[in-house]
Amino acid sequence: MSTTRPWPQAAPLATARLYLEPLRVSHAGEAAAVFDDVRLHRWTGGRPRTREELEATYRRRSVGCSPDGRRGWLNWMLRRRSDQRLLGTVQATLSRTGPSATVAELAWVIATDHQRHGYAREAATGVVAWLRARGIVELRAHIHPCHDASQAVARALGLRPTDVVADGEVLWRAVVG
């Protein structure tokens, strides 16, 4: 019998301007169109995904944890409240560093046409508040050293850069517990 605590499941969230919907496979069609922009991959690499690729990815991620159960997966799709338009995503990958210590690795993406309006900051702030209420003790994000916008979001969340660099990205972190 396993004594491992279950991972939290993404729940609907709302901020002043946004609805954050837990990821569903049915988001793939809309997301493929919104994120079909090579500029979104400037700092992270890769390429835009097809609807079929997103469906497969969303099917895996919407389960809520890695196949071995060692990581919790929380993913939200961001919609603007005023017109229900899909704007981006926020995700938190959870891992346990001890019996009662959980770390959240954060990432956010805002569609190119909707950047520079504070949506990433607003959504990530809402997710971080939700995570803190669930006992998360540390926040992390890996950010390209030239990605000023993501660095600004990380600072707003209280994260600070470290000396750790992996795959060309700087580890940012904050202890919250």
CA distance 130 to 135: 9
- Quickly tell me which residue has 């210590």 as its tokens: 101
Q: Is residue 1 pLDDT above 50, yes or no?
A: no
Give SS3 for 75: strand
Q: Is residue 3 pLDDT above 60, yes or no?
A: no
Residues in CB range of 81: below 8 A, 6 or more apart:
14, 17, 18, 19
CA distance 109 to 120: 7
Q: Which CATH superfamily is domain 13-175 in?
A: Gcn5-related N-acetyltransferase (GNAT) (3.40.630.30)
pTM assigned to the model: 0.93
Cβ atoms of residues 106 and 139 within 8 Å: yes
- The DSSP letter of residue 23 is P
Res. 175 pLDDT band, cuts 50 70 90: very high
Give SS3 for 145: coil
- Quickly tell me which residue has 């690795």 as its tokens: 105
pLDDT at 39: 87
- Write out pLDDT tens, residues 73-99: 999 999 999 999 999 999 999 999 877
Tell me what the mean pLDDT of segment 103-129 comes to.
97
Tell me the domain boundaries of the chain.
13-175
Q: How many CA atoms lie within 13 A of 36 on its CB side?
A: 10
The encoded tokens of residue 84 equal 């229900």
pLDDT at 59: 96
pLDDT at 157: 97
Tell me what the mean pLDDT of segment 115-133 comes to.
97
Per 3-state DSSP, what percentage of the chain is helix, strand, and coil (rounded to 5)? 30, 35, 40
CA distance 170 to 100: 26
Q: Is residue 177 pLDDT above 90, yes or no?
A: no
- Write out pLDDT tens, residues 140-164: 999 999 999 999 999 999 999 999 9
